[in-house]
């Protein structure tokens, strides 16, 4: 069985994340969307809220038979991958700056867990500039994010910030 993890903070989940999930899923039998619990990032949503939103959205993702799961974790990604029985860590890359960071992380993960490979997927062109941080900033300043984050997530952001739909 081929199991992968797709780790991230997912605060909030974006359509770019969903694109990486749907394009990488056919490579594996199972994939765990691994939600990092890192309070130092000052998240908009609790880890439980992020997991719930991801679970709500995942049924709409085409997976070609890959089973998707959602779990939260703390600590090292490589250790979580090992404990989960994963053989791969999936990472999306948007730009050269992402690659430099992700390469360092992949090399460290390989040092920690040599039997686990990191698989990089280039972001879809329409999501190459989308990040969770940017989506939060744009949303908090009143900008439009439709088409860049799932509708369910946008509604939860509106609830969280107490804003109304225009």
> Which residues are known to be catalytic?
17, 41, 94, 132
HEC secondary structure over 104-166:
HHHHHHHHHCCCCEEEEEECCHHHCCCCHHHHHHHHHCCCCCECCECHHHHHHHHHHHCCCCC
Q: How many CA atoms lie within 13 A of 44 on its CB side?
A: 23
Give CA 11 to chain center in angstroms. Answer: 9
Cα gap 149→146, rounded to integer Å: 6
Which residues on adjacent β-strands are paired with residue 29?
none
What is d(CA 163, CA 159) in angstroms, rounded to the nearest whole number?
7
**C-beta separation of 108 from 136 below 8 A:** no
Q: Two tokens at 14?
A: 């974006």
């Amino acid at each position: 069985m081929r199991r992968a993890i797709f780790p991230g903070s997912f605060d909030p989940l974006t359509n770019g994340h969903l694109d990486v999930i749907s394009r990488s899923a056919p490579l594996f039998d199972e994939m765990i969307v691994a939600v990092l619990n890192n309070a130092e990032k000052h998240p908009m949503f609790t880890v439980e809220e992020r997991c719930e939103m991801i679970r709500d959205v995942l049924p709409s993702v085409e997976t070609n038979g890959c089973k998707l799961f959602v779990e939260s974790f703390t600590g090292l990604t490589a250790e979580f991958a090992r404990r989960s029985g994963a053989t791969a860590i999936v990472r999306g890359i948007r730009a050269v700056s992402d690659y430099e960071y992700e390469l360092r992380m992949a090399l460290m993960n390989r040092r920690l867990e040599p039997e686990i490979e990191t698989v990089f997927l280039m972001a879809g062109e329409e999501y190459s500039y989308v990040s969770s941080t940017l989506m939060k900033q744009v949303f908090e300043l009143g900008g439009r994010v439709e088409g860049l984050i799932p509708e369910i997530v946008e509604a939860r952001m509106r609830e969280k910030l107490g804003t109304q739909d225009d």
